[in-house]
Structure 1
Amino acid sequence: MIKLALLALLILSQILVPVRAELVALQNPGFEDFPTRPVGWRTTQHAGEIAYEFEIDSEDAASGEQSFRMTCTVQQVYGLIDQKVAIGPAEQPRKMHLSAKMKSKDIGPRGWMLVVNFLGPRNAIISQVRSQHVSGTNDWKTVVLDKPIPDRTEALSVGVMLLDFGIGWVDDVQLDVSTKAADPATDAATGIR
């Protein structure tokens, strides 16, 4: 009887693991700090001639005074704005929740999306995940990317990537990391709201 009670307690302890969600502090998530470039963020493109314009937009923001705008002017593989965030190694499974307000104008079918690179030791890319893409012309929407964090991940490179012609805006980027065990029902969430 005691063995059965101990087994039941062990099973319950695994089921009732408390969720520890932590808002990860991104630098300049609303793009309000922009002396000459967006503080905390890196802008880049794949290669070749300059194909993207990276600018602050003080006339169109989801909230606050400013947003970030990326325009593709010459066909190129991708344009990217991203930020590296250390999360350290973990002893139990973790999940991440990345969200941002995004807007688009005349973006081609390859789209505009959230992107996360999971980085391991020495910044080696373990894997990359992307949200559902936004294309065409859309007003401000919340785009979400929920994924389990692979083992050995020590940092995340979170950002927004434009893969086609058009103009994309981003504002109010938020990242949460939780220690809750993976849940297949929600781990595939990459929606637009």
Structure 2
Amino acid sequence: EEEEEKEEEKEEKEEEEKEKTEKEKTEKEKTEKEKTEKEKTEKEKTEKEKKEEEKKEEEKKEEEKKEEEKKEEEKKEEEKKEEEKKEEEKKEEEKKEEEKKEEEKKEEEKKEEEKKEEEKKEEEEKEEEEEEKEEEKEKKEEEKKEEEEKKEEEEKEEEKEEKEEEREEEEREEK
């Protein structure tokens, strides 16, 4: 009897022990599973945050790149405008220079023309003076010639008169 009781007690104890062990095992597995699940969730969260961070970084870099390109474009545009402005000023300067030269050339031609005109005028005056002198000379010669002719005529007349007188004298003497 006592032996049986002991045996029963022993079995009961073993059963309890077995249940306890089973319970602990189940508890441990549950804890392990929860831990694994938690770690998995944590890992996924970390991974997700990392990807999000990388995405933000990428976007930031992209934005900076675009900004840089924009600045570069604006800089080029500015330089282009500056270049065009300089070119325009250069052309304007050349145009002014050209006009100035043209003006000087016209002025020079005008002076040259006036000089020629002056020389021509002087030449004409000189010729006129020469002609007047020539005319004066011819006039004097003409007068001189007329004077001589007149003188000659008078001499002839005188001679004629003398001859007439002589003839009359001779006639008287003959009588």
TM-score relative to the length of structure 2: 0.17
Higher RCO, 1 vs 2 (CA within 8 Å, ≥6 residues apart): 1
Higher helix share: 2
Larger Rg: 2
TM-score relative to the length of structure 1: 0.16
